[in-house]
Chains A and B, each alone.
Chain A
Amino acid sequence: MKEEMIKTDVLCIGGGIAGLMAAIRASELGANVVVAEKGNARYSGRGRAGNDHFWCYIPEVHGPDMGSFMKECLKGPKLRIMQAGTSMKVMRTFMERSFEIVKLWDSWGIPMKHDGRWEFAGHSFPGDVLTHLKYQGRDQKRVLTEKALEKGVKIINRVMVSDLLRDGDRIIGAVGVHAREDKVVVFQAGSTIVATGIADRLYPSPVPGWMASTPNCLTLTGDGRTMAYRAGGMIVGPESPKRHMGPRYFGRFGQATWIGVLRDPHDKPVGPYVTKPNRTYGDMTMEVKSGILEDYLKSGRGPVYMDCRGITPEDYDYMMSAFVDEGLSSLIDYMKEEGIDLRKNPVEFGTYHINPEGKVWINEKAETSLKGLYAAGDESIVSIGPAATYGWIAGENAAAAAKNGPAVDVEKARAEIEEKKNVVREIASRKEGADWREANVALQQIMQDYAGLVRSETLLTAGLDYVRRLRDKARRSLKARNRWELTRSLETLNLLDLGELVFMAANERKETRALHTRSDYPLTDPMLDGKALYVWKENGVPTFEWRKTE
């Protein structure tokens, strides 16, 4: 098997918003930087087709009291769930630097202003502080990719990094497979940044039997967090589920971009926030409780519609343009083909599947608990504003550490590299066995039934046994007929590790909180307020600890 060796100062695993920001900054500061991207950095990650909301703090808009602003932001349940386990210090650092990043993006050609001013809209309650900058991100990945190349970053596409490499307690690089050519790629790096994004494909998508009905890109399988966990890194809160919401059955992001009212079949608003389309607030009902859409359906009171009727012509144009910025142009094309006019046709909205929240723990320097390893983006602090800001911060610190830190030699991890090659060889050479989809679907049904919407010790214990058996079987029987299937197989093996983590952590959280519902512990334990569950492997044994998130 061919092996390619790449040596660099800073390795960014993942070429999404965070990965590219980290690469740009590290390169600017004089480091040699390589981005290893599973797909093509130009169009990868959750930001691939664009976004239109950037959470940030702008003193001239929000006033000088950043602390108050932060408290107000975290009132909303959606943001609170998303940021569960993130320390206040990390949050504050993000906020302090967010405006710097906004201005940077604007100067690079990602329009952050609307009509020459900072326009805030979406993700906020009527009458409350406005938290998200409305921007035009349709070309953001092109801008960031070109900026990275301009700064001398080496972007290597079609390489899936699958394991971090260690020398003692330090991360010295990573090993991965080329997703098209028959070769393994070994990276040696003074500093490594994981920025592989959100974890999807762990639970069945809203459409049975059609994995691609998710609003997430199918290759976002939380590789970074499972790699970090296997290498001994600390993961926070894998037990906390979150569920997104949006159009049915065409799963998409961008619910906050819709300018309408959520109504029941009798046109009665489902929530208390708006009675007619409002371009500043959208309808926050579904952010307060994403499950409300499913509740209506299951109780027979549904369906629930996102109703844009009554929208002004200006707001309609504004919304349609924002859809493109948010990456929803395929939805626009589809609606045109089908003759769906949002000014006349209410569109059904539904609650989507579970994504596990679990993040790689970072401090305010984007350092993880492992020497030589940083994390940024959805990997460690969710949402575009924090992703871009922490990518930048990770790049800064990773570059400095690579310059001043000890020399690394990736040959110290030769045994692990050879082991990885054996795994790849086995999967690629099996004549009979399970394909990746079998293993992925088998995992999804276990997750849904045993670590799903209602959990209990008996279900979680049974599920943990089942997932371990499945993982064992998958390791011994996965087969791939080509590099594409090999990449999907390695992703599925990562998901099996993540599933195990979710089961163990869910069992530790003996209470009901947010979307984690325990039938055997129905109360929310005030003793766990302000705390998060930290998990890591101590000498190979999963270890749990409750820590305050301050």
Chain B
Amino acid sequence: MPPIIDDTKCVQCGLCVDVCAEDVYYDSKPGETPVVTYPDVCFHCNCCVKECPSQAIRLRIPLPLTLLYKEGNRDIV
């Protein structure tokens, strides 16, 4: 579920917790690796990803939000 924090990179600065509009990281404790309390309201804006000083966050886009595309092996007719 989005977002995913890499524990080995997280410096526990709390910036991601600060910036999230939906407060996905609600109830995170200062000085600890944030908890993703409400992953399914994450709207994938990338604000926490951008804000993280150690690039510790990535978003896993959930399956229902899969982008639908066509295989592109041929040129336009």
Contacts and interface: CB of A to CB of B under 8 A. Distances in A.
Interface of A: 38-40, 42-44, 48-49, 158, 179-180, 207, 209-214, 216-219, 247-251, 263, 266-267, 303, 305, 307, 309-310, 327, 329-331, 333-335, 338, 340-341, 343-348, 482-484, 487
A305 B69 CA distance: 8
A329 B50 contact: yes
A330 B45 contact: yes
Nearest to B40: A212
Contacts of B72: 309, 341, 343-346
Contact of A309 (B18, B61, B68, B75): B75
Interface string B53-64: 000001101101
Contact of B26 (A180, A267, A303, A343): A180
A248 B68 CA distance: 6
Contacts of A207: 64-65
Interface string B25-53: 01100000000011011111111011100
A47 to B, nearest CB: 11
A209 B27 CA distance: 25
Nearest to A346: B70
Interface of B: 18-23, 26-27, 37-38, 40-47, 49-51, 58-59, 61-62, 64-73, 75-77
Given A43-B47, A219-B21, A249 B42 contact: no
A43 B76 contact: no
B64 A330 contact: no
A111 B61 CA distance: 30
Contact of A219 (B22, B44, B49): B22
Closest 6 CB pairs of A and B: A344-B72, A39-B21, A348-B68, A330-B46, A43-B47, A345-B72
Given A49-B45, A249-B64, A345 B71 contact: yes
B19 A305 contact: no
Contacts of A219: 21-22
10 contacts: A48-B47, A49-B46, A207-B64, A210-B64, A217-B21, A219-B22, A249-B67, A338-B67, A341-B72, A484-B27
A43 B64 contact: no
B56 to A, nearest CB: 14
Contact of A217 (B45, B46, B68, B75): B45
Contacts, number: 136
Given A207-B64, A210-B64, A217-B43, A484 B23 contact: yes
A42 B64 CA distance: 29
B20 A40 contact: yes
A43 B43 CA distance: 13
B41 A211 contact: yes
A145 B46 CA distance: 18
A40 B22 CA distance: 9
Nearest to A349: B68
Contact of A335 (B45, B47, B49, B67): B67
Nearest to A344: B72
Contacts of A209: 64
A350 to B, nearest CB: 8
B44 A212 contact: yes
A218 B22 contact: yes
B24 to A, nearest CB: 10
B77 to A, nearest CB: 5
A309 B66 CA distance: 21
B67 A250 contact: yes
A487 B18 CA distance: 17
Contacts of B51: 43
A487 B50 CA distance: 26
A216 to B, nearest CB: 8
Given A49-B47, A345-B69, A346-B70, A44 B61 contact: no
Given A212-B42, A212-B43, A347 B69 contact: yes
A303 B46 CA distance: 28
Given A249-B65, A250-B44, A267-B76, 4 more contacts: A43-B51, A210-B62, A219-B22, A334-B59
